[in-house]
């Protein structure tokens, strides 16, 4: 069996539940997030996990721990990096998304959330996230896949979208239509430079107001 790259988004945090932009603010999973993280682990219980990566943010680390515990994979080596952290939402951190949608209008709100180079005061564009997350993926994660290992990466909606952009060779314009859902597991076969050969999606039903 060929090696796999497995991507998963952290589940519901305390601020996800409130519909707030969390960004680099550290917030724990809530009870629902812990429960569903366990369900996500069940989705890959049939797979061997050789190593795992997560961001430096606690919601990512807690999700990874839940997934591995449910899989009874207690000795998987893990690495954490700020390169996989969520997008820095700058001045929008802590603001309620749906209130901002009313203020900005639907079109601008979508550009803000999903666009490639939409600026945020004192924060990051998606391109800036790409410029830290993808080099880390290519240097630290992809070589392990190329060694024949199954690699699990648990990170955030935007850092994962940038890795997906690279893997699936999605255009700057096309990335606006790409979402990394809560509760989803993406399982990739990759070529030597990290581009997609095939993709499998596994999903546990999740309701998150984010």
Just list the catalytic residues: 10, 86
Measured distance CA(123)–CA(128) in Å, rounded: 9
44, two tokens: 């890959």
Residue 166 CA to chain centroid, in angstroms?
14
Beta strands, E only, 107-194:
151-155, 184-190
Burial of 80 (0-12, 13-18, 19+ CB in 10 A): middle
For the chain, the C-alpha Rg in angstroms (whole number) is 16
Question: In b/e form, how buried is each residue of 102-138, taking b as 16+ CB within 10 angstroms?
Answer: eeeeeeebeebbbbbeeebeebbbbebbbebbbebbe
């Amino acid at each position: 069996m060929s090696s796999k790259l497995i991507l998963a988004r952290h589940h519901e945090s305390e601020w996800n539940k409130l519909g707030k932009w969390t960004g680099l603010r550290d917030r724990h999973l809530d009870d629902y997030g812990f429960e569903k993280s366990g369900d996500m682990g069940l989705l890959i219980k049939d797979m061997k996990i050789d190593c795992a990566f997560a961001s430096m943010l606690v919601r990512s680390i807690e999700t990874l721990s839940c997934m591995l515990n449910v899989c009874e994979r207690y000795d998987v080596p893990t690495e954490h990096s700020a390169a996989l952290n969520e997008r820095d939402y700058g001045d929008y951190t802590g603001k309620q998304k749906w209130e901002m949608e009313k203020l900005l209008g639907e079109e601008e709100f979508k550009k803000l959330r999903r666009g490639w180079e939409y600026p945020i005061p004192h924060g990051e564009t998606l391109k800036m996230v790409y410029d830290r997350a993808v080099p880390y993926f290519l240097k630290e994660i992809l070589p392990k896949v190329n060694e024949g290992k199954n690699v699990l990466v648990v990170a955030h909606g935007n850092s994962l979208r940038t890795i997906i952009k690279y893997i699936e060779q999605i255009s700057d314009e096309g990335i606006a239509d790409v979402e990394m859902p809560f509760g989803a597991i993406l399982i990739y076969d990759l070529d030597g430079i990290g581009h997609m050969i095939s993709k499998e999606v596994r999903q546990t039903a999740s309701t998150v107001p984010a």
